Amino acid sequence: MSKLSALIDEARIGLSIQQAIPPAQWDAIAKRCGDREVEEIKERIDALRAELANVEEWDGDTQDEINIAISRFSRLLALIGVNP
């Protein structure tokens, strides 16, 4: 079972809903990720891409949010040392 959600939740402790997880916390998450977490990250990226394909063209805010999430998960894979 992947612990990715728990790692992200732990990194968000003390942050407001508007605050992004700081880069140092992403580094810490990456160090604790194994094969199961890598697989979950890839699955999340695939799901986000599928969701993005179904977003209405006029809904730029939603497109931006999805692209940001894809970017963050892709960077997390890079920190782990896996090609997105």
Task: For 41-83, write each residue's pLDDT tens digit.
Answer: 999 999 999 999 999 999 999 999 999 999 999 999 999 999 8
Domain boundaries, given as residue ranges, for the chain? 4-11+20-80
- Whether the CB-CB separation of 73 and 41 falls below 8 Å is answered with yes
Which residues, 6+ apart, have CB-to-CB distance to 75 below 8 Å? 26
Q: Tell me: pLDDT of 84 over 80.
A: no
Considering the entire predicted model, what is its pTM? 0.91
- Taking CA atoms, 7 is separated from 2, 13, 64, in Å, by 10, 10, 24
Other Cβ atoms closer than 10 A to 7: 20
Which residues, 6+ apart, have CB-to-CB distance to 7 below 8 Å? 29, 32, 33, 37
Question: What is the pLDDT at residue 47?
Answer: 98
